[in-house]
């Protein structure tokens, strides 16, 4: 990536000490044998290993946070060799870096924090999501249907797409500024800020006794943008009383604006590449691709449930730029 909108970190320290790899391997075996599922404990152990043996990886985590908060809001990392190790070793090397950005969140009722983004064949009536298909994924944020979407997410390319599959990035602030330059755009922004839209929660994320619809504006302060068209359309179908003329007009205008928006940043992940994204400030998508061996590992990272000491630690790592 080039220019101010594009941040690349080239890491040449791609080999890991045998002692570190040995301890990671022993840790993975311990997790399996003891059936440890406390992700706070797991993160603490990983951070301790990195601090003791790989301080440069800890420094890389701090640099990533700085970029996500105060610079380009997403960063591509090249040169790490996580993908060359067998899983689950590769998974925990990846998590050892991601652990410095906040707290992992589970993806579904399986309580896993890593989700395999790869084409699947549905064996049931469940509708497959973007991450299970090889078709185009329209611009959206992750977890738009959560009351508080995660602050960050990461993707590690184990096997990149051979044809297609380019990542697409759009910065929310730039989209808002562009919309604000026209009268109709201003009208659209007003509705997206002042009206609540229904987002349907996928079945895998619904806890017993909870509603499968959340209400939220598309534009706000935190996150700046909350958008995933298919979940909104499903929510409007489930709540037809909310399918008012102004909501439908604003939704269509905004979606068409995004499709035609010229300042999309596109890049292709190579094997071993990692991208971290500020999910509160960036819309992302993916071009269609061919072949069924593409495999990315996704981790979502939250900061809303950090305790005061953890929050203070993060503030010390990423001081506000003056």
Report the alpha-carbon angle 51-55-58, nearest 5.
80
- Three-state secondary structure string covering 134-146: CCCEEEECCCCCC
Question: In a 3-state reduction of DSSP, which class is residue 167?
Answer: strand
Query: How many domains does the chain divide into?
Result: 1
pLDDT value at residue 129? 75
pLDDT tens for residues 198-243?
999 876 566 555 568 999 999 999 999 999 999 999 999 999 999 9
Strands 152-159, 295-302: pairing is antiparallel
| 133 — pLDDT class (breaks 50, 70, 90) | confident
How far is it, in rounded angstroms, from Cα 141 to Cα 263?
17
Q: Which two three-digit tokens encode residue 131? A: 């991450």
Q: Which two three-digit tokens encode residue 320? A: 């506000």
pLDDT tens for residues 28-52?
999 888 887 888 899 999 999 999 9
Phi and psi based region of residue 248 (left: phi greater than 0; alpha: psi -120 to 50; beta: remaining): alpha
Q: What are the beta bridge partners of residue 116? A: 297
* Arithmetic mean of pLDDT over the chain: 88
pLDDT tens for residues 259-274?
999 999 999 999 999 9
Domain of residue 105 covers: 1-322
Please indicate, yes or no, whether the overall pTM of this predicted structure exceeds 0.85: yes
| CATH number, domain containing residue 133 | 3.60.130.10
How far is it, in rounded angstroms, from Cα 189 to Cα 307?
34
């Amino acid at each position: 990536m080039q220019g101010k909108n594009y941040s690349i970190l080239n890491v040449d320290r791609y080999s890991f000490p045998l002692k570190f790899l040995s301890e990671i391997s022993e840790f993975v075996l311990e997790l399996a044998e003891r059936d440890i599922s406390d992700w706070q404990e797991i993160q603490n152990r990983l951070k301790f290993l990195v601090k003791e043996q790989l301080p440069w990886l800890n420094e890389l985590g701090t640099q990533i946070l700085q970029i996500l908060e105060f610079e380009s809001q997403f960063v591509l990392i090249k040169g790490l060799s996580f993908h060359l190790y067998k899983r689950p070793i590769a998974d925990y090397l990846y998590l050892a870096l991601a652990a410095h950005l906040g707290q992992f969140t589970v993806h579904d009722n399986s309580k896993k924090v890593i989700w395999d983004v790869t084409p699947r064949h549905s064996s049931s009536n469940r509708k497959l999501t973007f991450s299970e298909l090889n078709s185009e994924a329209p611009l959206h944020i992750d977890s738009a249907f959560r009351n508080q979407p995660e602050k960050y997410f990461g993707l590690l390319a184990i096997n990149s797409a051979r044809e297609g599959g380019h990542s697409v990035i759009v910065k929310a602030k730039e989209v808002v500024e562009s919309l604000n330059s026209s009268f109709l755009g201003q009208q659209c922004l007003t509705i997206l800020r002042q009206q609540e839209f229904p987002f349907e929660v996928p079945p895998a994320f619904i806890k017993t006794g909870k509603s499968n619809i959340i209400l939220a504006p598309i534009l706000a302060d935190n996150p700046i943008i909350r958008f995933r068209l298919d979940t909104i359309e499903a929510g409007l179908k489930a709540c037809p009383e909310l399918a008012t003329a102004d909501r439908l007009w604003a939704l269509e205008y905004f979606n068409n604006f995004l499709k035609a928006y010229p300042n999309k940043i596109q890049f292709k992940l190579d094997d071993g590449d990692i991208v971290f994204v500020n999910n509160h400030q960036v819309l992302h998508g993916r071009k269609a691709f061919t072949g069924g061996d593409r495999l990315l590992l996704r981790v979502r990272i939250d900061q809303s449930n950090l305790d005061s000491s953890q929050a203070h630690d993060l503030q010390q790592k990423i001081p506000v730029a003056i």
